[in-house]
């Protein structure tokens, strides 16, 4: 995914760089690149199941804490 920025006639270079950085962060290009930097094993079935159980447990705990 290519990003392109054109400099406005009366725009300073600092402002152009700032605008470019904002666009890069908004497009999440760097975040995706950092995720793909290393190989990540796919989680197995038991890990996914355990994560779902714990997620449900923590959500129920959080709901209980709302009413104290």
pTM given for the model: 0.54
Q: Quick check: is 6 in a domain?
A: no
What confidence tens digit (pLDDT) does each residue in 35-54 have? 999 999 999 999 999 999 99
Q: Quick check: is 44 in a domain?
A: yes
Contact 28, 1 (CB under 8 A): no
What confidence tens digit (pLDDT) does each residue in 6-25 have? 999 999 999 999 999 999 99
Residue 48 is classified by DSSP as H
**Three-class SS of residue 20?**
helix
Helices (H) and strands (E) in the chain, counts: 3, 0
- Measure the CA–CA gap between 40 and 27, rounded to whole angstroms: 22
Q: Quick check: is 3 in a domain?
A: no
Q: Quick check: is 7 in a domain?
A: no
Q: For the chain, how many structural domains are there in total?
A: 1
State the residue range of the domain holding 38.
13-66
């Amino acid at each position: 995914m290519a990003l392109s920025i054109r400099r406005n006639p009366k725009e300073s270079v600092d402002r152009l760089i700032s605008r470019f950085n904002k666009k890069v962060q908004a497009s999440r290009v760097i975040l995706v690149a950092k995720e793909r930097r290393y190989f990540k094993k796919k989680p197995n079935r038991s890990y996914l199941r355990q994560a779902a159980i714990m997620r449900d447990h923590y959500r129920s705990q959080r709901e209980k804490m709302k009413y104290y």
